[in-house]
Structure 1
């Protein structure tokens, strides 16, 4: 991991990026922390050209996104055009729609079939579909397979890649480092998020401030050739810019020169 590979997930700052003006101020602060890339998620609505202009103004690349399922299915041409304009290869889906998740094992198969054409088209266009998990994907079905196992086994390894969220893997009872290694060859973007216990409750934490095994997680990411280490914190117990700064400083200490 190099410093240039550490990115900030803008979902963490969604309350400060609702307009183009807010986004510009926010990206200035993100760049001042030291980040050189962001993941676009949870902002706006803001015109893609304005997003590009602000990112370039502050020296930030766009490494990945989260795009709504409806847009992936119905506005794929526009999605492709936006990502090309941003110089962003990784097109992410934050979570599969509820109708698939609620259908259990059969729902995963239906989702894999439904998204296959989109993922293949993105691959043909030089982009890469990535799927971001929550804890529900670690529910077990017959034979001990989890939803994540079903996705891994039931999708094309070239078209369908993953964006493992370390916090949600831990919350689902899985070993994040083991899952990073399990996704070798199919995961170039990882979501780094720590878990702490405060007053006997599980909470989001800055990287290095919680209880997760970052030695094992980061070693696994390095081993499989992860390209982007994206810091995300769904909820912060302090100012979210300060939270992103704490996480960045921790990761920089662990980065290669």
Structure 2
């Protein structure tokens, strides 16, 4: 069974305020076995805390974030390749992940191919060092150019680059997650476990529209924004079928993630997701 972990983007403010080690202690208290590090600065001190967290608390580092060029919070492989590999060896992480391709790579088939071709040598070099580079999708990765999805372009041009599949974003992109997992079996190493719900229409918004105090365009803006991220088990995703399918597709880690908790304490949202996953056998 894949290891159950947490995408630490949800707790980045706590990490900045309290330090990584203290946050790892809180994660361990939630009965979560691993973490993925994202959207925090990869300082030497933070890496030391990840090492201590594994030794003292038993919390694995499932993956850390990377990009090709400098400018993000992860390791910039152009300038920090050796440091990224060393951090993986010290923490025991076997995966690095790219959170998104540049927006400029999404505008055409040629642009996407050029980006994937730039990534492939780094993914191949990392593989030689025992580290797997994965690409994290969003809904835009279901864009089709000449009948070929961005997913397909990336696999064709960068075969050494595997996938971190965000099942919420696959669903939002219009592809059935079960179909995606089957289509890319073998490449799906990390899975973001994130639910998808539709929020109730705000009664005050409807009342303003009904009274003529809001035009149709503004109302439809509210209407189209009802899609939300949700705690696992509190949306419409079919987790009892999805998680076994993800394991069959090659998943090694299931990582709880929720991009927005809509005012809830993230720890409470994580706790709810964890309790649901326990209730279905994880």
Q: What's the TM-score, normalizing by structure 1?
A: 0.91
> Partner residue of 1:123?
127
Q: CA deviation at 1:245?
A: 1.1
- 1:100 and 2:97 are equivalent in the alignment: no
Instruction: Pick the aligned partner of 1:138 from 139, 142, 145.
Output: 142
For 1:226-245, list aligned pairs within 5 A: 226-237=251-262, 238-245=264-271
* 1:178 alignment partner, SS class: helix
Question: Is residue 193–residue 232 contact of structure 2 (8 Å, CA) maintained in 1?
Answer: yes
Q: CA deviation at 1:155?
A: 2.2
Instruction: Pick the aligned partner of 1:111 from 102, 110, 115.
Output: 115
Question: Is residue 18–residue 46 contact of structure 1 (8 Å, CA) maintained in 2?
Answer: no
Runs of 5+ consecutive residues of structure 2 not aligned to the other structure: 70-75, 202-225
Q: CA deviation at 1:65?
A: 1.7
> Partner residue of 2:167?
166
Question: Is residue 204–residue 235 contact of structure 1 (8 Å, CA) maintained in 2?
Answer: yes
Matches of 2:42 and 2:179 in 1, distance apart? 37
Instruction: Pick the aligned partner of 1:30 from 9, 14, 27.
Output: 27
For 1:36-185, list aligned pairs within 5 A: 36-47=33-44, 48-70=47-69, 71-102=76-107, 104-142=108-146, 144-156=147-159, 159-185=160-186
Matches of 1:106 and 1:24 in 2, distance apart? 43
Q: CA deviation at 1:74?
A: 2.1
Q: CA deviation at 1:225?
A: 3.4
* 1:75 alignment partner, SS class: helix
* 2:267 alignment partner, SS class: helix
Q: CA deviation at 1:112?
A: 1.4
Which structure 1 residue ranges, 4+ long, deviate > 6 Å from structure 2? none
Q: What's the TM-score, normalizing by structure 2?
A: 0.83
* 1:196 alignment partner, SS class: strand
Matches of 1:149 and 1:208 in 2, distance apart? 30
Question: Number of residues paired by the alignment?
Answer: 249
Question: Is residue 6–residue 248 contact of structure 1 (8 Å, CA) maintained in 2?
Answer: no
> Partner residue of 2:280?
254
Matches of 2:39 and 2:271 in 1, distance apart? 20
RMSD: 1.6
- 1:221 and 2:219 are equivalent in the alignment: no
Greater relative contact order: 1 or 2 (C-alpha under 8 angstroms, separation 6 or more)? 1
Q: CA deviation at 1:45?
A: 4.8
Question: Is residue 21–residue 53 contact of structure 2 (8 Å, CA) maintained in 1?
Answer: yes
Of 172-181 and 49-58, more deviation after overlay is shown by: 49-58
Matches of 2:79 and 2:104 in 1, distance apart? 18
Runs of 5+ consecutive residues of structure 1 not aligned to the other structure: none
